[in-house]
Chain A
């Protein structure tokens, strides 16, 4: 089917089977391999993308569902200030080890930061509970999200 959607801010037209998983559309057809597949069952969150600014597992979304909507992947992070602030904070606090969960983790956190600037650690933990990380123990990920939130809040004030 013909799909029209906004991909990382750019209008995109593609002909793809409506029942193709979004993760396959991204990785195989659009060559956006930043979205990672960890389980294919919506259980690890590595394939998280933003669909109309909501964090979704792209392995559980079918291509037909994105028609007419707006999609942000990690490759478009630079166009979203929350994701960009998170990228910097993740690097600086040491929230990245193997890095396989990182794109999904950043986008998941970006969805949170879009609607919340003031966050408790408990809120961050709850929000990120669907994104598994086996390396970091989450300590520095939580720190990074807190740091990005503060930076965004201060940036706005200026």
Chain B
């Protein structure tokens, strides 16, 4: 029986629950030094000098390194090459790295870094993206502070709005969201006597790290080897940031010829590492009396912070998703990623889409109400189905399971719009989608490698270029290899991801690991299967094409051999049972002027339904239940898939109700620890009902599509819509705090929810 589609136990579960030293900070090396970073105290300024005399006198101080010590180029290139490794004469955000201090203990390194004074001539910072955009005097990026402007132009929006019977227009705001992975950033650099350097650490993207280290140290790709350690949560927060962290260990290690470890403390991690882009979404949408969405006009602004890092590609995804999963003929979208004097915002589960989907789904409910339709019926009339065109004009030829997710949620929950319900409870719906993989925005990186070795004893090891970050990639890929080679899952093991094992396979982002590395492994296994088939065919007197391999046996039409016997026979005949695999994504396209094209190779789809109860006295929202149905093509491991849905839903609940990293008027982050940045705890966990829908993706392994980000993306609007259904207040800026609800209820006076619901939206 195939192991595909089975709820097998996570491969590394036992090691992770035993306390084995898998994580970066668990590793100790003889003679290892510790690094800490000297950071900018101001949001914008010119550096006058560093005062380091007292730090240098500390016992155990080993060195201080600035940009002047960089042997290569002072740059950490991500997409646009604008971010220095260490600031030179100016600083652009509080916490920007200025120097690296190295000492014999971590305590001394951190103390020394605190003692180094960065003397700056402070300048007024630009903190508001709307003011920063096209600022006349202060130029943080180019001459307009715009990292990127994107457009979608489709149909005739003005004419379409004239023909609409209802139009809803609103402004939405969403805050910074902190990743809050429980393991802080951590990295170790070990220079080798042969002139190479090894980097090990907590990361999503070893090939990004390699690029950063080769750039800063001026080395070749073959000189820098990057190995991923067990990574204690990432969610996008370990996509681009580890490139910077790695350089902070690699620079002193390379110059001192000693191993150097760096581990951020929690507060430093919260102040100085990327977060979800804060956003402003101005949204106008119109429909006709027949309940059809006719026109959409969107202005979407994301606050990118001081350097571009991933903002341009975050903007791409946000733009493509800005109309939601609906048919619409007339669309005008203008989106901007803007530079400000704050910590660079980066990747976070959903990558620019949760912000805009919050707006889309809030709009849909308001349009439905104005049309006198319920939110379910309005969605049924407008959601994308097979052979429809997306907002970017992409024809959806396969794997479009949105309708089934919607109907599944309705069926499983038993919910009917307008049904009798307990006082102050409400139901909220969201229907969303996710473009799988890097798409046209990251086309050049849309390829992946793999390597498989089938050993003489029947065991197999494999390497891939994507990483295990808790999502379960190791297990899913092991299932694929076991199935392909016809061996038990227990015989398969993954080698920790290592840049010396496979060619540059791009990043572990965009929910791409299962599809990309899965396909590369299929390619490698196909070559090994060919060897097994040829060997078996000669023994079973048939043609290799007639051979099938499954579940421990190699079979011809009439006879079979145990797989181990065939493997041994291959070894005896000196056949090579090792192979490399390679996968290149199907084509995508994009036109910058019109925003039209086949943006992603395939889409995943989801429907969420939230049931909430609102306390009118306090404004608190109690989320009682979330039903979440996801079309993921094929669940190779349904238990891991359910885990993604549950975990993503709770991150989405945090984004909806409590999480907000606040910055003061000097650009200083106000909540720098878990006591002030509020995360959902076990007590906030509602009942979550995960449902999996499978509309196979023809180019995916076993039909699978990526979906790890999607579970977070539609939760905030589902909760916002449920709050409105419960007490008739619509909160348009996240998070939906008790204070905002209380104020909205209070401002409305004593009018009943029914009365307020008839209020105007414009």
Binding site for B on A (CB under 8 A): 27, 31-41, 43-44, 46, 73-75, 77, 87, 90-92, 94, 96-103, 106, 124-126, 128-142
Contacts and interface: CB of A to CB of B under 8 A. Distances in A.
Contacts of A131: 682
B681 interface: yes
B452 interface: no
A26 to B, nearest CB: 10
B649 interface: yes
Interface string B642-685: 11001111110000000000000000000001110001111101
Interface in B560-594: none
A17 B10 CA distance: 40
Interface in B1-36: 7, 9-10, 12-23, 25-26, 28
25 contacts: A27-B25, A34-B20, A34-B21, A35-B19, A36-B23, A36-B183, A38-B184, A40-B266, A41-B266, A44-B674, A75-B19, A87-B17, A90-B17, A91-B14, A98-B231, A98-B470, A99-B230, A99-B232, A100-B182, A125-B681, A133-B182, A134-B182, A137-B685, A140-B643, A140-B646
Contacts, number: 172
Nearest to B105: A28
Interface of B: 7, 9-10, 12-23, 25-26, 28, 179-184, 230-235, 265-266, 469-472, 639-640, 642-643, 646-651, 673-675, 679-683, 685, 688
Contacts of A140: 642-643, 646
B26 A128 contact: no
A116 to B, nearest CB: 16
A132 B232 contact: no
Given A44-B674, A125-B683, A129-B683, A100 B183 contact: yes
Contact of A32 (B19, B25, B646): B19
Nearest first, the 6 closest Cβ-Cβ pairs linking A and B are A34-B19, A100-B232, A99-B16, A98-B470, A137-B650, A74-B19
B26 A137 contact: no
Contact of A139 (B10, B231, B683, B685): B685
B177 to A, nearest CB: 12
A33 B682 contact: no
Nearest to B181: A134
Contact of B233 (A32, A37, A100, A129): A100
B679 A132 contact: yes
A129 B682 contact: yes
Instruction: Name the prevailing secondary structure of the B interface residues.
Output: loop
Contact of A96 (B17, B20, B184): B17
Contacts of B640: 94
B266 A39 contact: yes
A134 B21 CA distance: 20
Given A40-B265, A87-B18, A96 B13 contact: yes
A91 B13 contact: yes
Contact of B18 (A74, A94, A129): A74
A98 B639 CA distance: 15
A31 B7 CA distance: 35
B646 A139 contact: yes
Contacts of A96: 10, 13, 16-17
Nearest to A86: B17
Given A35-B19, A94-B640, A132 B181 contact: no
Given A98-B470, A99-B232, 10 more contacts: A40-B265, A44-B182, A74-B17, A98-B234, A101-B232, A129-B681, A135-B643, A137-B647, A137-B650, A142-B685
Contacts of B679: 132, 134
B696 to A, nearest CB: 24
Given A91-B10, A94-B639, A94-B640, A100 B235 contact: no
B194 to A, nearest CB: 29
Contacts of A33: 19, 21, 23, 25-26
B690 to A, nearest CB: 9
A134 B235 CA distance: 9
Nearest to A126: B683
A44 B180 CA distance: 10
A90 B470 CA distance: 14
A41 B16 CA distance: 23
Contact of A98 (B9, B183, B673): B183
Contacts of A141: 682
B647 A136 contact: yes
Nearest to B648: A137
A73 B19 contact: yes
Contacts of B266: 38-41, 43-44
A59 B287 CA distance: 58
- Indicate the member of B19, B232, B471 with the most A CB atoms within 10 Å: B19
B643 A136 contact: yes
A98 B182 contact: yes
A30 to B, nearest CB: 12
A32 B648 CA distance: 32
A134 B19 contact: no
Nearest to B649: A137
Contacts of A94: 7, 9-10, 639-640, 642-643
Contacts of A73: 19
Nearest to A87: B17
Contacts of A41: 266, 673-675
Contacts of B9: 91-92, 94
